[in-house]
Amino acid sequence: MEWQFALYLFAAMILSVPLTWLQTRRYTRAVREMAAAHDDRSKILVSGRGRGKLRGSVAMLVIDAADRTIVEARVMAGASVFAKIRRAHELEGPLDDATSRAGDRMTAKALTQATEQFETVLGSRRTAAKRVIARTA
């Protein structure tokens, strides 16, 4: 019985590799689709991750920097590599209260991290713009 448990454990580990690879491909495909659909300088694509003990969530947001609204949102939430990426229409709208529209705690954490990433990207764009203006003056 002892060697059978080790065999099952080894088989599960071997099976997890292609499943993880497939999930990574689905995530990459979703990010590329969002980037292609919103190919505009005023739009910023960010993502955030909320991790728990058993479940997790990844939020991918396209945010219009001019009016701070979420133009498109997709969420991957679940406890395994079988978690699907779905369009989250309920998150689209003003960025400031997006976490209150999150369906669960892990998605709210992912939205908080994505919002922080948005603020970082926006700040670096402003800094770069100031440098360009200073060089041309």
CA 113 to CA 59: how far, in whole Å? 9
Q: Provide the greatest CA pair distance for the chain.
A: 78
Mean pLDDT of the chain: 85
Task: Tell me the domain boundaries of the chain.
Answer: 2-130
According to the model, what pLDDT value does residue 87 have? Answer: 92
Mode of pairing for the β-strands spanning 56-64 and 85-87: unpaired
Least confident of 29-33, 52-56, 120-124, 126-130: 126-130
CA 28 to CA 25: how far, in whole Å? 5
Kindly tell me if the per-residue pLDDT of 130 is higher than 80: no
According to the model, what pLDDT value does residue 135 have? Answer: 64
Kindly tell me if the per-residue pLDDT of 69 is higher than 70: yes
Residue-wise pLDDT for 72-128, tens only, equals 999 988 777 778 889 989 989 898 888 888 888 888 999 999 999 998 888 777 676
